[in-house]
Amino acid sequence: MSAVREHGAAPTSPDGLIRARTDGMDQLVAADEPLAGLQSRSGGAMPGPLAVPALLALVRRVRRTRQAASRAILTVDEGRPVTAWALVMPEGDGTAIEISHWQIGDDGGAEVPAPEALLRHLAEAEVLLDEAQRVIATDVRAPDLAMLAAALEQGRGAYWTDLVKIERVSDLMTARQGPLHWRLLDDAPFSVEGSARRWRARLLPRVQGGFALLAIPESIEALPKPATGSKAAPDAASAEAGGWNRLLGRDLAPALRQPITRIIANAETIRTRLAGPLADEYADYARDIADAGRHLMSLIEDLADLEAVEAPGFAPAPDHIDLADCARRAAGILAVRAAERGITLHTPDQSVRVPAIGEFRRVLQVLLNLVTNAVRYGPEGSAVTLEVGENAGSAWIAVRDEGQGLSAEQAARVFNKFERLGRSGDGGTGLGLYISRHLARAMRGDLVVTSGAGEGARFELTLPAGRSA
């Protein structure tokens, strides 16, 4: 591997990473081999725009948001497929790029990867469906699909078409009839609440029966981090330089998501007897496997969130939001889970508005965590109340339950990292409240708890007040 092709950069590092830099115009100004060679062979120059579209899209996103991001990169170099894992970080007016696990495939007479592999690479969500197109298991990666992820999780057994808006055929479908034939829905454009992007549905029949539904964004420039990546382990120097959490986000989490998702999907296929008749006890075993897989996936996602909120320079994208609307949305997403335990969710009236400044997606993430905890630990048949209000210069939203409450000592520890308050086997990771407080403070607010033993708990999120309409 040759040294850096210079336009003001350091020599190639011995840690095995391929490093590069872009300026404030998204032009590649320095790169190690083999990225420099690929840039040249693709007709690019230095300085000049990146000749790898997927990497260029990631660079543009990081420069705009000023938040580090990573993703798998797929391209072609002289007819041979190239895969790699790219981490892009803000640096000055431009970005710093670190590429690992650079692999060049054999041409074998095929100049591009298989279409299905490419579709899975581009997909930001994959949903396992049964033969009637009902939801079995999900793997959603795009941040702006958070509301869809929650709806899919709560809507297991529902038709996927009931959870999105199919633009060209929605008027032909009803919940009673179910979705159209899968060939009529393949490549159909759809939209999702909470996402400003347009999506396309690709339906891939599975040999075992049913379908894999892939959600693919229409604009590649807006792609967020995908779920697939290389399984190769980084060297010690790289791990030490980046810390354990960066190691997780760049290498472990992407490598773990796909096999765990397959474990969950296969376990659900067995549990629902799609693969054939099965004794009840074995169906119960399959349910236990699927639940364990979901718990592990939850831990991985929490650790990935932890990486994001603890990254230097992390900053949410503030906007004008309505906390009362956020409360109603969070309750709507978790209504099924609450009903399963006989818990009533009380939300602000439709006429109530409490304007605030915060990132909608992050506020909803905090609320979903708070309401999930309240439903999980509240007694059956109790109530969870979401309240909103305004103080001088600030707005607040609170989640109040009727559980056993927290002692003063527990309340002091509840926001600590990996704190479980002695609970085990309940599906929690001990990171949700720690991450939620981080997010609250990053949005110039705070998250606090008031409680007394036997009196329930009240978690209050405060944010800067917004302007009234």
Q: Would you say residue 190 has pLDDT above 50?
A: yes
pLDDT band, residue 397 (cuts 50/70/90): very high
Q: How far apart are CA 297 and CA 302, in angstroms?
A: 9
Calculated CA dihedral for residues 429, 432, 434, 439, nearest 10 degrees: 150
Paired with 320 in beta bridges are 357
**Tens of pLDDT, residues 449-467:** 998 767 889 999 999 998 7
Q: How far apart are CA 71 and CA 74, in angstroms?
A: 10
pLDDT of residue 400: 94
Contacts of 235 (CB under 8 A, 6+ apart): 15, 16
Higher-pLDDT residue of 87 and 400 is 400
pLDDT band, residue 144 (cuts 50/70/90): confident
pLDDT of residue 344: 94
For the chain, domains (ranges, CATH) are 18-108 (3.30.450.20), 120-310 (no CATH), 319-464 (3.30.565.10)
**Tens of pLDDT, residues 21-31:** 999 888 899 99
**Tens of pLDDT, residues 407-437:** 888 888 889 887 777 565 555 667 889 889 9
Within 343-452, strands assigned E span: 344-346, 355-358, 383-391, 394-400, 446-451
Q: How far apart are CA 463 and CA 469, in angstroms?
A: 17
Token pair for 458: 């009240």
The end-to-end CA distance of the chain, in Å, is: 59
pLDDT band, residue 194 (cuts 50/70/90): confident
**CB count, 10 Å around CB of 232?**
13
Percentage of residues in the chain with pLDDT exceeding 90?
A: 19
pLDDT band, residue 117 (cuts 50/70/90): low
- Per-residue CA distances from 12 to 90, 94, 127, 238 (Å): 20, 19, 41, 13
> What average pLDDT score do residues 153-162 get?
84
Proportion of the chain in helix, strand, coil states, percent, rounded to 5: 35, 25, 35
pLDDT of residue 240: 39
Q: Would you say residue 111 has pLDDT above 50?
A: no
> What average pLDDT score do residues 42-57 get?
80
| 188-191 and 394-400 strand pairing | unpaired
Long-range contacts, 1-7 (Cβ 8 Å, 24+): 1/32, 1/33, 1/34, 2/33, 2/36, 3/32, 3/33, 4/30, 4/31, 4/32, 4/36, 5/30, 5/31, 5/32, 5/33, 5/36, 5/46, 6/30, 7/46, 7/47
Q: Would you say residue 277 has pLDDT above 60?
A: yes
Note if the bond before 464 is cis, omega within 30 degrees.
Answer: no
The HSE-up count of residue 456 (CA atoms within 13 Å, CB side) is 15
**CB count, 10 Å around CB of 349?**
7
Token pair for 422: 């002695």
DSSP 281-321: HHHHHHHHHHHHHHHHHHHHHHHHHHHHHHSTT-----EEE
pLDDT of residue 235: 39
Q: How far apart are CA 52 and CA 42, in angstroms?
A: 8
Q: How far apart are CA 11 and CA 99, in angstroms?
A: 15
| 344-346 and 319-322 strand pairing | unpaired
**Tens of pLDDT, residues 51-109:** 787 788 788 888 888 888 777 777 777 667 777 778 889 998 899 998 887 877 654 43
Tell me if residue 462 falls in helix, strand or coil: strand
Q: Would you say residue 248 has pLDDT above 70?
A: no
Angle of helix 432-442 relative to helix 360-377, nearest 10 degrees?
Answer: 150
pLDDT of residue 153: 80
